Amino acid sequence: MKILTCIFSYNRPALLANCTRSVENYFPWGDRLILDDGSDSPLVDLVLDHWRQRPNWRVVKFERDETRTKNKRLGGFYINMGYALSYARNHGYDYCFFLEEDSQFVWRDNGFPNRMSAFFERCDDAIQMSPLFLERFINFSLMEFIQELGAYRTPRGFNTTGIWHLDRVRAIRGFRFVDGTAPTDPESNSYLPMNSRQCLEAGYRFYWLQQPIIMRNMWVNYAAERETERVAARVMRLLSGKERLIEPLTAQEIEILKRCPGRCFAIQEFFSRSLGPFGTPAWPYASGWPAYISRYDALWRQEKRSGGGPTNVTVHTTLNDSTVAPAQRDLLWGKGPQTHEVSPLVELALRLPAPLKKFLKSVYGAFSTVRLVKPQQLFGFIALVLKMKRERQVFRELAELGTHEQEERTPSEFAKPQPLSVKAK
């Protein structure tokens, strides 16, 4: 079995150092390929030079040209993914693991290669699967747990973090990864729906594994940090393994993860000790708390109507029992825009010197949360945070049940969720 791990990076040296070190320590199988999208950071070059000299590591740094800069949000990200997939297909690899620089392995599963191979052997319609912990803002009601696979079937065909089964990619006649040389999808400003559609039309699906091994540093924004000696020192500590951005799972947490039944999705907020008590905005909501609160409010209202959530995922014994809906654009991540329009005042503040900008952003963040969030949205956000607290307890209780024979036993608050004390207007 030949596997190539591809790491995509751009101008975030601390995240890149953290990710590559975790790959070296926790995923020692196969070869590694770093694809940098033309970073102009000397610290990124330092990290790239470090791994360029190591066996089983290869580094490709692209030049920033017009094609890579015309899409300010994506850059050459999809171009690099297309290059990586072609490289893996043409060099005889069996699997290609797409990994972004903001990811980190949090535990070492020594049986993972066998688990991965067994999954693809049993699941004929899987073209890609991901061992990534998901965050709470996912719409879990559109996924189904397939017990015989130990995985969740989704209504999409592709994800930017995941492991490709390359023989199935090769079997798709005329397959061409849609990258930055083509127009983006007009609704999402992304190439994800177009690549997903190719796989779906060929009869393939994307899956999430029940026992994930990777978390994402989505609440850390090192792209905006100035390259001071302090940042350089931290990059070196991360590169040497003396520091980590996310604490690895403890033996007890790994045991809880392994024992929890499939109907209870293991999400990142249940395990990560780097998040605060309420979490912080993930990358689709990097413009600030108002968009984050609005999204959580919408998710809470949606789940209130449908009864969905990470602790009551639909379970099927075999793949043939699955009835997951056909893929529909944006549904997995929730309807509606995933960005928030900021005011001209913020745009002006972002052009100011870094110390003043940092101060004004913190002040505006506190002010805009009150000014731009409707009271009912804040109620919905608080309600979901309280719900997450209960879900974490339910998750632990289900894991404590332990054996397969006890799968049907359910804690009382899981069977009959208690009404929330906070009501939305």
pLDDT score of 404 more than 60: no
In whole angstroms, what is the distance from residue 172 CA to residue 201 CA? 10
Q: Are 177 and 77 in contact (CB under 8 A)?
A: no
pLDDT tens column, 125-139: 999 999 999 877 777
What does the domain layout of the chain look like in residue ranges?
A: 3-253, 277-415
Q: Are strands 57-61 and 126-130 parallel, antiparallel or unpaired?
A: unpaired
Give the range with max mean pLDDT: 115-129, 241-255, 277-291.
Answer: 115-129
Kindly report the average pLDDT of the chain as a whole number: 75
Task: Provide mean pLDDT across the span 30-46.
Answer: 93
Pick the CATH number of 3-253 from 3.90.550.10, 3.30.470.10, 3.30.1490.100, 3.30.160.270: 3.90.550.10
Nearest alpha carbon to residue 17 among 102, 96, 97, 84: 102
pLDDT tens column, 299-350: 777 777 766 666 666 777 766 665 554 443 333 333 333 333 334 554 554 4
Task: Provide mean pLDDT across the span 161-176.
Answer: 92
Task: Provide mean pLDDT across the span 149-165.
Answer: 92
Task: Provide mean pLDDT across the span 142-167.
Answer: 90
pTM equals 0.76
Structure tokens that stand for 365 in this block: 């963040």
Say what the pLDDT of residue 409 is.
38
